[in-house]
Amino acid sequence: MSEAHRAAGSVTILTVSIQFQIEARSGRTRTGRLLTPHGEVETPVFMPVGTLASVKGVPQDILEELGVQILLGNTYHLYLRPGVEQVRKLGGLHRFMAWPRAILTDSGGFQVFSLNDLRRVTEEGVTFRSHLDGSSHFFSPESAMEAQIGLGADIIMAFDECTEYPADRERVRASMELTLRWAERSKKYFEEHKHEVPWNRGHVGTVALGCPRERSSSAGDHEVSARQEPAELCSAGQPRAAVSTCSESTQALFGIVQGGMDHQLRRESAERTIEIGFPGYAIGGLSVGEPRALTREIVESTLEHLPAEQPRYLMGVGTPEEIVEYANLGIDMMDCVLPTRAARHGLLFTSEGKISIKQARYAGDAAPLDPNCGCRVCQRYSRAYLRHLYASNEVLAQVLNTIHNLSFYLDTMQAVRHSVLLGKETGSSCVRSRPKP
């Protein structure tokens, strides 16, 4: 037994994964705070996608400056490259990518299904080929949990089957049932192994919520010693509004509701996933090619069956208009590659609509990209310059475009949070402005 274990024996350990507090409601929209072991996340939140431990083109310090409080990492990609064991040995994803704030990883299921034509699904799991070198791999609920525990995100996802669209009812039911059995196996493995999270080695399966510095100094047998813990990571990692106590914490596993485009099956999936019991619930299997009106309908009907007091995560959406729409339905968390991927293709979201910066009409345009945006790009550069960078295939084009698009998405969510708070307390001083560079 480690020293840390003995030391921990002298105090009462309250093991919590995340805490979610709803602060205000306006209609179905709610705003709240999600407290994670790596800081606070204001909701509703848009989570930028950092597929390979990187939001393509944007350094971590700029993400912090933009106000990103939680990032998404893709288990499938990180499992293939650089490999879970490599990340685990380096202290987990937070330390590996020098990101002190919260991280969520997906289970790998979605990528296995979307990137692999040669996959084979059995009760046990999915056999698939790497899109990098064609090598054969196997994901099961257990191995997906093992991978996500090794990566060490604050929030991890149950292994599910993303049902294809369109699919007949029989197929959707069979897929939903498989996801439910996999959810039980995911939870069982997680409960038995969650103490193995890399931020936490030798510390009784728990870490101090919001207290990474204390944690590292008390973890006597920690593979990455306190000496190596970057101090700036600790200080930057402190939540902006202090987490109330240093209660002990670990990862949180969210369940995923499937059920295709069938209202009844969605309801059944929700109820039976809730029976298994998770601290948060995701709505999966949407944005898979169905019409947008149908996505909204399914989100709306599924939300009716999810616990009101727990976080609700809609996976893989959407445009700026859509994320507002879903937040207004009562969604707390969303992620999408759209703002970052579109930026790399010169498609920019602005308060005046979409702009394709590659167009020749911007070649002599001295105006900022978005006159209503306070981001560092709009404050400094002209459309003409951004158009030139893009047309010349300069790397800086991708960097600046991505920074603006992310800023626009984050501002959009902040506006939703403000309007909910204003609905409750008009003119309240608790409505904060995001600092502009």
Catalytic residues: 106, 335
Amino acid at 319: T
**What tokens does 295 get?**
């996505």
Q: Residue 378 or 420: which CB sits closer to Zn ion?
A: 378
Tell me the closest approach of the beta carbon of residue 369 to Zn ion, in angstroms. 6
Q: Residue 198 or 368: which CB sits closer to Zn ion?
A: 368
**Residues 72, 92: Cα–Cα separation, whole Å:** 14
**Residues 387, 66: Cα–Cα separation, whole Å:** 23
Q: Residue 387 or 404: which CB sits closer to Zn ion?
A: 404
Q: Residue 148 or 401: which CB sits closer to Zn ion?
A: 401
Tell me the closest approach of the beta carbon of residue 379 to Zn ion, in angstroms. 8
# chain residues binding Zn ion, by CB under 5 A: 5
Element holding 33 (H helix, E strand): strand 29-36
**What tokens does 213 get?**
């510095």
- What mask, x for binding Zn ion by CB under 5 A, covers residues 389 to 418? ---------------x--------------
Q: Which of 18, 62, 103, 378 binds Zn ion (CB under 5 A)?
A: 378
- Beta carbons of 409 and 339 less than 8 angstroms apart: yes
- What mask, x for binding Zn ion by CB under 5 A, covers residues 241 to 280? ----------------------------------------
Is position 233 an interface residue for Zn ion (rule: CB under 5 A)?
Answer: no
Is position 88 an interface residue for Zn ion (rule: CB under 5 A)?
Answer: no
Tell me the closest approach of the beta carbon of residue 109 to Zn ion, in angstroms. 34
- What mask, x for binding Zn ion by CB under 5 A, covers residues 343 to 362? --------------------
- Cα 206 to Cα 14, 17, 33, 179, 241: the distances in Å are 9, 9, 21, 28, 22
Is position 222 an interface residue for Zn ion (rule: CB under 5 A)?
Answer: no
Q: Which of 375, 389, 410, 420 binds Zn ion (CB under 5 A)?
A: 375
Cβ partners under 8 Å of residue 71, min gap 6? 47, 48, 49, 50, 55, 63, 99, 101, 102, 103, 104
Q: Residue 254 or 349: which CB sits closer to Zn ion?
A: 349
Is position 386 an interface residue for Zn ion (rule: CB under 5 A)?
Answer: no
**Residues 321, 225: Cα–Cα separation, whole Å:** 46
Task: Select from 380, 374, 372 the least CA-distant residue to 396.
Answer: 380
- Bridge partners for 129 per DSSP: 136
The site for Zn ion (CB under 5 A) is made up of 373, 375, 377-378, 404
